Amino acid sequence: MRKKTFESFLGPIIILSLFFFLYACTTVPVTGRKQLDLVPDSELLTMSYSEYTTVMKKSKLSTDQDKVDMVRRVGKRIATAAEDFLVKEGLGSEVKNYKWEFNLIQDDKTVNAWCMPGGKVAVYTGLLPVTRDETGLAVVVGHEVAHAIAKHGGERMSQGLLAQLGGVGLAVAMSTQPAATQSIFMSAYGVGTQVGVLLPYSRLHESEADHIGLILMAKAGYDPRAAVPLWQRMNQQGGARPPEVLSTHPAPESRIKDIQSLIPDAMRYYKPR
């Protein structure tokens, strides 16, 4: 019997790999980019709710009611815009996955915000002097919610499971390597500092979130033109070491230029309130 050569296996391997890639892909709204999606929404949501509860218990929440109210007011408007956006993009079935929650964490040294799956959002008080007002805050919240509805964190989680744990399912990873899996999750969603070996988001993800985020804030009634001075202030705030929220953003000059090019599209959705 003749031995099968490597070449004889190559065809089936390529076909199986292509099938796996296509089967495990979803599409990013607006850009239409295909993304890796190995983790079911139900599993991500369960982990998200658990980790968000843990972070909130460990964090000191702000008692400044005016600031807390502002964060939740902006959050509510962005959340409503996000749900409308999903419906208009033909993704209305995903709206049920969002149980929105917006909290302000008292930490004046951290210039950051993030959004976990299911609409679990945290803003740090260190961000507020940079955002300055509701519109500035809407730029950042819109951007972070855009990451969530574009499933960037889930894509990073999938990449992490594939790269570090061999592509096993989330449930298996949690039962066999819970610490490593938790580290991948926290890093994937940019919670706090860079916990694992993965950066919170790639530059491609950040650019997509800029685009979708501008649309969300415009649909929420916030002027998207405020994004340019906001990100200029954010870049100035960073100094030698940028804030966590800027850790993987494109270079400031090119990024601002890209945002300026996207504003005319976002303005089509803007109706002042």
Closest CA to 245 of 236, 234, 253, 254: 234
Q: Exposed, middle or buried by CB within 10 Å (0-12, 13-18, 19+), for 239?
A: exposed
> With contact defined as beta carbons under 8 Å apart, do 147 and 200 qualify?
no
Query: How large is the average pLDDT for residues 165-182?
Result: 52
Task: Report strand pairing: 120-124 vs 101-105.
Answer: parallel
User: What pLDDT, in 10s, does the model give residues 27-81?
Assistant: 888 888 888 777 778 888 888 898 899 999 999 999 999 999 999 999 999 999 9
Name the token pair of 40: 């079911």
At 175 the pLDDT is: 52
3-state secondary structure the chain: CCCCCHHHHHHHHHHHHHHHHHHCEEECCCCCCEEECCCCHHHHHHHHHHHHHHHHHHCCECCCHHHHHHHHHHHHHHHHHHHHHHHHCCCHHHHHHCCCEEEEECCCCCCCEEEECCCEEEEEHHHHHHHCCHHHHHHHHHHHHHHHHCCHHHHHHHHHHHHHHCCCCHHHHHHHCHHHHHHHHHHHCCCCCCCCCCCCCCHHHHHHHHHHHHHHHHHCCCCHHHHHHHHHHHHHHHCCCCCHHHCCCCCHHHHHHHHHHHHHHHHCCCCCC
> With contact defined as beta carbons under 8 Å apart, do 213 and 142 qualify?
yes
Task: Tell me the one-letter amino acid at 31.
Answer: T
User: What pLDDT, in 10s, does the model give residues 104-122?
Assistant: 999 999 988 999 889 999 9
Confidence at 8, pLDDT banded by 50, 70, 90: very low
**What residues form DSSP beta bridges with 101?**
120
**Is residue 1 pLDDT above 50, yes or no?**
no
- Report phi then psi at 26, rounded to 5: -125, 175
Q: Please, what is the average pLDDT of the chain?
A: 79
Confidence at 126, pLDDT banded by 50, 70, 90: very high
User: What pLDDT, in 10s, does the model give residues 240-258?
Assistant: 445 555 555 555 678 889 9
